[in-house]
Structure 1
Amino acid sequence: MKKLQIKYIAIILSLIIFASCSKVLDKQSLVNSNADQVYNDSATAVLSLNYIYTQNLPSWFGNGSVSAIGSAGPCNLTEECRSDNIYVKGTVTQETVGDIGTSNSAGTNYGKIRAINQFIQDVNAGTINSGTKNRFIAQALFWRAFRYFELVKLYGGVPLVLKPLPAVGSAAKAAAMVPRSSTTATFQQIVADLDTAINYLPPNWSAVDYGRITKGAAQAYLGRVLLTWASPQFNPNNDVNRWQAAYDASTAAIATLSANGYGLYPKEDVTMWTTEGANSDGTPKNPEAVMVTEYNPATDANGMANNNYTNATLPKYIGTSGGSTQPTWDEVQAFPMADGYAPGSSPNYTYNPQTFFLNRDPRFYQTIAYNGCSWPVVGNANYRLWTYYYYTKANGTATKSTETSASSTGFYCRKAIDPNISASNLMYSGTDWMEIRYAEVLLNQAESAAEIGHLGIGQEAYNNLIAIRKRAGILPGTNSMYGLQTGMDQTQMINAIMFERQIEFAYEGRRYWDLRRRNLLEGTLNGKMRQGLTIVLNNTGTASDYALLTRDASSGNTNASLAAYYLANFSVTPVNVDTYPIDYQTADHFFGIPTAALQNNTALIQNNTWGGSFDPLQ
C-alpha cells in the first residue's frame, strides 16, 4: 500500500496490481458505478475497497480528516505541548466538535460510512467467489467500526446507519431522519462489525498487500474499543464484566499477533519507525507495526502520498516549515531516570534540573531534542541542536536566540525523525504512521488485567510493564523490576500503567484520549500553566557575540561533558508558556451536537450535559 514505483506498461500488468493495496492504484470511488461492472470482478472491486482505505486511514498522531480534535492537535490538549485552544481554555461550545457532520458531503463521517455501506451491499450482490467476498466485506466492516468508534468517543451514542440510504429526493430526506442509538447499542454494533471482520481476515496478507487490516490488527482494535467502553468515561459504575471483555480481546490479539510475526521491536530507536514493509511470506519486517498507514516518499497522483511530519517537526531554521511539535518542560521532567525511578526518587541517580538530560530513561533521548544534544538530521551525522539565548550587550540588557525562529519551549520532538532524509527531500517523508503498536496491545491487556485483579508479579500487569521497560533499555536493578514498585495495589498499578502510556506513547496522540476515557483531564491538567525552559549563556560583561563560542568542541561528545558545559556556561530557567491555567469543562466528557446537525436531522437529541435529554451513559 505504498512506495511501489510501478509503471503502467501493459493492461495485463495493471490487472495484477489491482489485486493489491498498492498506493499506485487509482483509488477513485466506484460507489456510483454500475455494480455489475465492478462487483462481479475482484480486480475491479478492489479499487473501491482501496478508496475506502484511503478515505479512512488515520494520519500522524491518529488524526482523521474530519476530526476536530485532530485539527487542534492532540498533543496540544495535554501537558505534552502547548497551544492556545478553546479546549484547554474551557470555552468549548456545542458548535465546536462537528465530527458528527453538519452538511451532506462525502468527506464527513457519515459520507464515509455511506461509501462503506454501499460497498458492502454491492459486494454482497456480486458474483465474486465467497472467500474473496468475505475478505472484502471484513475489511469494510472494520472501517465502519472505526468510523463509529471515532464518533462514540466524542458524543456517546450516534445514529447507526447500516445500509446506504437514498441519495436524493424527499424519500432521502425522510430516510436520513435517523435517531441516535444508545451508547450501549453503538458499542455493540462496533463490536459486532469487528467480530465479523476478525472471523474472515487473514493473520497476514501477501507482501504486496502489506498494510491491509489483518486478523490481529482487528483484534487489537477491538481491545482498544472495549478498553474505552470499560473505562470510567463510559463505565462510571465500574462494571467488571466490561474489563473482562477488554482483557479477553487483548489476550486474543496477543495470541494471534505473536503467532504471526508480531511482537515488541527489539530496541526503541528511530528504526522502530523507519523499518517498514513485509517479508516474502507476509510477516512484517517491523514486528511492532500492528496497524499502519503507509506513505510514499514523493507525491503521486494516486492514493496516500508523502506525510508532512518530518518537515513540520524539525526546527524551522534548518529549512523546514516547522518545529510544530515542541515538548514542554512538564513533559521533559516526566521521563524517568535510567533506572526507571522518577526524577528525585532514584536510589542511583541524583536529579538536577540544571542538567536535566543526565541519566534519563533511554526513551528520553529518542523523544526529546534539547539544547546541546547530538541529533543527526538531514544527512548530517554530526549535527548538534542549540536553542539557547545569548547577550548582545555587555550590560546584559538584550538577548538573542541562536535560532532564527526560536522554539517557544526550548525543545523539539525527535521521535520518528528519519536522520537520513536530505534537506531537499524534507517535504517528502515516507515514514509510516503506526496507528497500533504492539506495545499498546500489551498495555491495553495490562490495564484490563489490573482492573480484574491480575496484580501479582508474574501476571500480565507486571509482566507487560516489565517487557516494555526492558525493551526501552531501562536498567533492571538488583530485583529485576526495572524501577517498578513491588506489591502494587490496584490503584497504584493503574497509575503505573497510565504513566507508562504517557512515556511510551509520548507525541503519538494517545495522551489526550487516555486522560479523557479515564476522566482524568480535569484532575491532571486543570490549574496547570505549561512551561518551557529558557537557557541563557552567562554574561561575561563584554560586548562579544557569544553565539560564536566554539560550542561543539567545548561541550564534548557525552552527556557528562555537556552537563559540565551547562554548569559552567548556562543559566536554566523554567518559564510559563501558557498565559492562563488549563480549565477543562466536565461537559466536555461528551461533546455537544452542533446546531446545524440538529437542524438537518430533527430526530437527533442533544446530550443531557448540553441542555438535551440524551444520556450518553446509557
Structure 2
Amino acid sequence: MKLSHKFLLAFCAPLALTGCMKVLDKTDLNSTSGDLIFKDSVLTQMNLDYIYDQNLPAGIPTLGPGTAPSITTLTDESYGESKLLEGSLLVNEVGDFGTKLDPTNNYGKIRVINMFLSDVKNGTLPQFTKNKLRSQAQFFRAWRYFDLVRLYGGVPLVLTPLAAVGVEARELAFLPRNTTAETFTQIVKDLDSTIASVPGRWTSANDWGRITKGSAAAFKGRVLLTAASPQFNPTDDVAKWQASYDANKQAYDLLTTNGYGLHASFDQLWFQEVNNPEAVLLTGYNTATGDQTRKNNGYDNATRPSYAGTAGGSNQPSWEMVKAFPMLDGKKPGESTKYTYKEQLFYKNRDPRFDKTIAYNGVNWPLNGNTANKVWTYYVGGKTVEAKASNTGFYTRKAINPTVSIGDAQYSGTDWIEIRFAEVLLNLAESAAGINKLDDAYTQLKAIRKRAGIEAGTDGLYGLKANMTRAELFDAILYERQIEFAFEGKRFWDLRRWKLIEKTLNGTRRTGVTINLKTTGVPADFATNRDNVNLDLAYTDYFTLVFKQLDTKYAITWKPEYYYFPIPQSAIDNNPKLIQNNTWGGAFDPLK
C-alpha cells in the first residue's frame, strides 16, 4: 500500500525535517499546539493517517477485547471455544463498549476522531481542504458507531470532544443512550458527508487506500442492509428495505462510474494492488521488515500451514464449511443430477471457488514459490505426516500469497479487502429481494456465479432455481455469501443479522476429518511417490475418512439475548444514565 499511515511525530524524521520546520521552526514537537498543526495541510494529513491506521480493519476481526474470539470460530466456518456458543456469557464478558479511558476501544477512537474534526474545523486551511479531510474522519466515526450499534443497539452519540478533567466534565460525560434509530441516522449522516466531499477515485498512487465516494456508499449500503435485516427489522418494514436498496444502488452506480467491478479472478483479486477493480475498501500493508513504515499483514502467516510459515494453522475450515460448497453446476451436493456427490471424493466436481478456498489432503497448492507443491494431511499408524497436524484436516488458502517464502510470510504485504465489489452486488441483490425486485436479485447472483466459473446451464441460471420466491431468494443470497465470503469475517454477522444462529448451530458440534492411510493394499513406495499418484485412486483405495467432533466440551447453545449484547455493568456503574437492554433485565429497547 502506498498510504504510509505514520503517526504525526514520526513525520519529522530527518529527511522530512525541512517540511516540519516551515510551520514548527524550533518548536518542541512533543508539545506542539493544535493551531500550528491544523493550519498546515501536510501535518493535518498525518493526523488523519493516524486515524486510518487506528480504525481500518486488520483482517478477520475478533469480537471486541472482552471475550475476543475470532469471528470465524463463532460460525460453521471453523471452530473454537467461546462462552457465546456455550451459552454461558455473563454481563461483563463481551464487547467493546468502553468501560475505561482507553484509546484502543470504540469510544477512545471516537474521541480521537472528534478531536480531529474539531481541530480541523477551527483551523485555517481552505474550506475545500477542510471538507475533504473532515469527511474522511467522519467515515471512521460512522465505522465505529456501526460497530457499537450492531453489538448493543442504540448507544450514546458523542459528536464533540468531551472535557476530560474535573467534576463538571464528569457530569457532562454522563450521556444517556440514543435510540437505535437515532444511531443509524447519525451513521448515515456522517457517510453522506463523506460521499459529498471525497473523490470517486484518487488520482495519486500515494492515496491508494483512501476513502472514496464508492467505498463510503458501499459501507452505507452495508449499514442500511443491517438495519433492514430481521435483527433490527422484525416486522419486515419495506421502507427499511427500500432505504437499503437505494443506498446499495447508489454504491453500485458510483463504483461502476469510477471503474470498479468484479475482478476477472476470484483468487488472484487479493494480489493485485494497482487498479484492482474489486478493492472497494481495503487496509494496505507492505513488506517492510524494520523501519518505521513497517506494516505487515498477519493473516497470511497465521493462516498458512505451520510448516509453510513461522506461525500458521489458523482459520482451519470445518467439515461443515467443506460440505457447503456447491457442485460445478451450481447445485448443492446431493441435489445435482449432473454431478454425483460422494463423501469419499468430496473434492470432485465442486464449484471452482472450492479449490481456491479450501486446501485438503493431496491438493496441489503452490506455496513458497513451489508451483508443484502438494498438501498432505493424512495419518499413518495414528501419527500425522505433517510437522504439526491440522485439527480439522483442512486449511484455508484464500488470500495466501503462493510466491511468499517461509521466512517472508510474516512480512506479507497483501492488502486486506474489507469490502469487495462482490459484496456490493450481493448487498444489492438482498435489498432488491427485500422490495420484491426479484429479477434484480437474480442478475447480481448470476454475475457472482459466472465470475466464480460455475456452469451456466441450459437455462443460463448458473445452478439457481428458476422462479424463486422472495423467501427463497433470501436463502439463496445468504448461501452465496457463505461461499463467496468464506473466511472474510462476514458469516457471523450474516447469521446474526438474520437471527439464524440457533437454527444453524444450536445442538450441533462442528466436525473435522482425520484421513488415515490404510494398513493394507497401499503401495510400498506410496510415501515417496505420493505426489505422482492419481488422487482419486488414492482416496478410493488407500485412504479412509474418520469424522470427529471438534466441539468436545459442549453442544452449541447460542441464546436469543445474544442478538443484542449487554452493556457491561461496569459501564453502567460509571454512568448512571445508561440503561441496560431489555433482554438483559433493563428497560432499553434496542428495536426502537
Q: 1:338 aligns with which of 316, 328, 332?
A: 328
Task: Supply the distance in 2 between the matched residues of 1:595 and 1:31 (Cα, whole angstroms).
Answer: 37
Counterpart residue number, 1:224:
222
Query: Mapping of 1:200-211 within 5 angstroms?
Result: 200-205=197-202, 206-211=204-209
Deviation per residue, 1:41-77 (Å, 9 max, x gap): 111111111111111111102458x5557x3001100
Task: Give the 3 Å change call, closer, same or farther, for CA 127–93 of structure 1 in structure 2.
Answer: same
Partner of 1:148: 145
Instruction: State which of 527, 537, 552 in structure 2 corresponds to 1:564.
Output: 537
Aligned position for 2:51: 52
Matches within 5 A, 1:55-94: 55-63=54-62, 66-68=64-66, 71-94=68-91
Q: Does the Cα contact within 8 Å between 1:31 and 1:48 map onto a contact in 2? A: no
Instruction: Note the 1:14-53 alignment, pairs <5 A.
Output: 33-53=32-52
Q: Is the Cα–Cα contact under 8 Å of residues 308 and 367 in structure 2 kept in the other structure?
A: no
SS of 2:281's partner is strand
TM-score, scaled to structure 1: 0.90
Indicate yes or no: 2:532 matched with 1:553: yes
Q: Give 2:8's aligned residue.
A: none
> Partner residue of 1:349?
339
Question: CA, structure 1 residues 14+531, in 2 after alignment: closer, same or farther (shift >3 Å)?
Answer: farther
Query: Structure 1, residues 524-569: CA drift from partner, whole Å, max 9, x if none?
Result: 1111111111111111299x99873421122xxxxxx311221011
Superposed displacement of residue 300, structure 1? 4.7
* Distance change >3 Å, CA 300–CA 194, structure 1 → 2: farther
Distance in 1 (CA, whole Å) between partners of 2:15 and 2:159 is: 39
Counterpart for residue 579 of structure 2: 605
Q: Which residue identity does 1:551 align to in structure 2?
A: R
Percent same amino acid among aligned pairs? 51
Question: SS at 2:199's partner residue?
Answer: coil
Q: Find out whether 1:495 has 2:475 as its counterpart.
A: yes
1:158 maps onto 2:155 in alignment = yes
Aligned to 2:384: 401
Alignment partner of 2:461: what SS? coil
Alpha-carbon distance between aligned partners in 2 of 1:177 and 1:272, rounded to the nearest angstrom: 47
Which AA in structure 2 matches 1:139? Q
**Which amino acid counterpart does residue 211 of structure 1 have in structure 2?**
G
Task: Check whether the contact 2:378–2:515 (CA below 8 A) recurs between aligned residues.
Answer: yes
After superposition, residues 358-507 of structure 1 pair within 5 angstroms as: 358-391=348-381, 399-455=382-438, 459-507=439-487
Between the aligned partners of 1:164 and 1:56, the Cα distance in structure 2 is: 18
Which amino acid is the alignment partner of residue 570 of structure 2? A
2:181 to 180, 184, 187: 184
Asked if the contact 1:537/1:546 (under 8 Å) is kept, the reply is: no
Residue in 2 that maps onto 1:22:
none
In structure 2, what is the equivalent of residue 514 of structure 1?
494
Matched, 1:573 2:546: yes
| Distance change in 2, residues 1:449/1:157 (3 Å) | same
Residues 1:328 and 2:318 are matched in the alignment: yes
Q: Which residue of 2 aligns with 1:243?
A: 241
- Equivalent-residue separation in structure 2 for 1:11 and 1:569 (angstroms): 64
Quick check: 1:31–1:119 contact (8 Å CA) kept in 2? no
Deviation at 1:602, TM superposition (A): 1.5
Gaps of 5+ in 2: 6-10, 24-28
* Distance (whole Å) between structure 1 residues aligned to residue 308 and residue 246 of structure 2: 48
Cα distance in 1 for residues equivalent to 2:118 and 2:194: 16
Inter-partner Cα distance in structure 1 for 2:415 and 2:425: 21
Higher alpha-carbon deviation: 567-576 or 295-304:
295-304
Amino acid in structure 2 at the alignment position of 1:233: Q
Q: RMSD of the alignment, in Å?
A: 2.2
Which residue in 2 is equivalent to 1:261?
259
Partners of 2:310 and 2:407 within 8 A in 1: no
Distance in structure 1 (CA, Å) of the matches to 2:17 and 2:403: 37
Where does residue 587 of structure 1 map in the other structure?
561
Q: 1:179 to 1:259 in 2, by over 3 A?
A: same
C-alpha deviation, 1:11, in angstroms: 3.6
The 2-side partners of 1:408 and 1:370 are apart by 12
Q: What residue identity is the alignment partner of 1:80?
A: E
- Runs of 4+ residues over 2 Å off in structure 1: 1-16, 30-33, 66-69, 298-304, 317-320, 544-549
Instruction: State which of 281, 293, 299 in structure 2 corresponds to 1:309.
Output: 299
Q: Alpha-carbon deviation of 1:7?
A: 12
SS at match of 2:156: coil
Structure 1 unaligned segments of length 5 or more: list them. 19-29, 278-284, 392-398, 555-560
Residue of structure 2 equivalent to 1:272:
269
Task: Check conservation: 2:361, 2:393, Cα contact below 8 A.
Answer: yes
**Paired residue secondary structure (1:423):** coil
User: How far 1:222 sits from its partner (Å)?
Assistant: 0.3
Q: Distance in 2 between matches of 1:315 and 1:576?
A: 21
Answer with 176-185 or 94-103: which moved more. Answer: 94-103
